[in-house]
Amino acid sequence: MTDTNANAWVSATHRPMRFPEFVAIVASIMALNPLAMDMMLPALPHIGASFGISDGNYLQSVLSVFLFGFGIGQFVMGPLSDRFGRRPVLLTGMVLYGLASILALFAPSFEALLLARALQGIGTAATRVIATSIVRDCYAGRRMASVISLVMMIFVAVPIIAPSFGQALMVLTEWRGIFAVLMAYGLLALLWSGLRLPETLPVSERKPLTVRQVLQSFRQTLTNRQTLGYALAAGAVQGTLFGYVFSSEQVFTEIYHLGHYFPLAFAAIAIGIALAGFLNSRLVIRLGMRVISHTALVVYALVSAIMLTAAWADMLPLPLYMGLSMVALFTFGLMMSNFTALAMEPQGHIAGTASSLYGSITTLIGIGVGITLGQLYDGTLRPFATGSLVFTLAAIAVVLVTERGHMFTPSKQPH
């Protein structure tokens, strides 16, 4: 790694890796989560047929229980990593992910499958928390935001290709084959991390794992105006994305009648996030996190308002819907990497715990919003468009409070 003092913390058994490999390995472990999430989209009707479930809204639980496990798991991963270091917690979480994939592969019932999905979510909680903590261990300020953007650019390539890959697997095998692939990817990521990823938290910086210390770290995180504010705003916006993902298979197949081609439309829309990650990594050093993320948030709200108007006027054909969604996901990509960097910036001394709470808050709020929007699906885009605008406006209000009424102010964080 370059431009950092982290090399002094690297364990003696690991050679310092170069910056490209650092970005790639962090992105690869973060990718476990969206891969396990989005590869399932084409398989939902087949899973329903296998277990005799015809209610499309109920089938969304294959996605929602995974995210619930992911959200809950993050509460414990951070404090554990602040006490024992990043590597042990990361590798243990990845092992749990692999075992859960085996359980899903051989699940005898829908309930067993949901249990496996929840355990997968808990396992990927470690990858998300540790990846963010490692970046915070090694970088600060706008440089941290730039690194997160590069990681996110690779990270979001997974949602782009995952549904199409899942659709291809459905041609070659049944839905259980998807879990075989998820298990194989998890094993490869585990081996790469075990062999190459160094420990970035020095022993001298580790915190005791006591109830008092954990509660104190939680308090320090939750009482920091910047950290809590951007976590709440990110959760509200992320919820609109979850609502889109939960109902995407129904929207593209029932409203727009794309059938097996819906993963292609899903991938085309998701390209916007990848472009945002690349662009943000170039601009954030010069413009700062606040200018970019606040502008993106306002544009996101404008797009939501246009979609709401078009949906209620029954004037939302597929090209317009895809165009608006692509712009929305582009601005979402600009927001999330910068919101994460802004939330983590004040928390370098307890990066693991702060990453846990930030991830849990954003995920659990996102799940609540996403499930609500997904379950309100009624064969039209009106409930989603309405909810998307409401929660985006709520995010703007939270940012205004967090920044004491001043938005778009250039960040004075170190470069």
51 φ, ψ to 5°?
A: -105, 10
Q: List all residues 6 or more positions away from 383 whose beta carbon is below 8 Å from its beta carbon.
A: 373, 376, 377
pLDDT confidence tier of residue 159, bands split at 50, 70 and 90: low
Longest dimension (CA), the chain: 64
Tens of pLDDT, residue by residue over 63-84, are 889 988 988 888 888 888 888 8
Q: Which pLDDT belongs to residue 231?
A: 94
Distance CA 120, CA 114 (A): 10
Show the domains of the chain with their CATH numbers. 17-402 (1.20.1250.20)
| pLDDT higher than 80, residue 244 | yes
SS (H, E, C) 62-83: HHHHHHHHHHHHHHHHHHHHHH
What tokens were used for 209?
């794992």
Give the residue carrying structure tokens 């197949």.
253
Lowest-confidence pick of 30-34, 37-41, 108-112, 239-243: 37-41
Element (H, E) at 14: none
Tens of pLDDT, residue by residue over 22-68, are 888 888 898 898 888 878 878 888 899 999 988 877 888 898 899 88
